[in-house]
Amino acid sequence: MFHKEGQKIIFGSLVAVVAIILLIDQFVSLSWLRTTMMLVVVAFFLLILQFFRNPKRLGQLNDNHVLSPVDGKVVVIEEVFEKEFFNEKRLQVSIFMSPINVHVTRYPVGGKVVFSKYHPGKFLVAWHPKASEENERTTVVVENDAFGKVLHRQIAGALAKRIVNYAKVDEEVKQGADSGFIKFGSRVDVFLPLDADIKVVLNQKVKGGMSIIAEKP
């Protein structure tokens, strides 16, 4: 199953792959070179398919849990001052996605969307200290009965040139449902109450919509 954000790119890539293979077959006479070039083109197309895959996730939904919004590796767990929405200290959990990870962003909690904003910006590498403040990004806050307001922020990286955000203010959303998509690698930050019981450790690999990153204390 592939994400809707990849439909045009997948179709365009398929057309290009077929055209290139026909040209290779027509103009490259050496059989070993022809085969190698065709395999490289097919491999490129398979990478495109892998990038836009959207596997169904059957994680157990629970209002007392915060689920990872994306697939990737936990790179930050720290107390920070969040100044865009809360203007107070929060626990930040950041997850870095490589180009081979699933890039669907999912709601970490269910509830009502109370804030959703897009910020144009730079394309620093996703692990850069200032990426969360200077890169292209979106900020979404969902109000949840157990945790209050939970913020998750999609952050573009050096390769990510487009962030898609589906969250709309006053919309009721379901935990684990699609919140957006980041094209070609990046990072997502989650900001939680200071008393949240963090259930992940640095460098741990997590799966969006399945891995529990925090529990209600």
Q: Indicate which residues carry an active-site annotation.
A: 186
- Measure the CA–CA gap between 29 and 142, rounded to whole angstroms: 59
Residue carrying structure tokens 């055209």: 19
List % helix, strand, coil for the chain (3-state, nearest 5).
25, 40, 40
CA trace torsion 59, 153, 123, 12 (10° rounding)? 40
182 phi and psi, to 5 degrees? -120, 125
Residue 160 has which token pair?
Answer: 């990510």
For the chain, how many residues are written?
217
CA dihedral 77, 82, 87, 89 (to 10 degrees): 20
Q: What residue has token string 């935990």? A: 175
* C-alpha distance from residue 142 to each of 52, 107, 148, 152, 193 (Å): 26, 8, 8, 8, 13
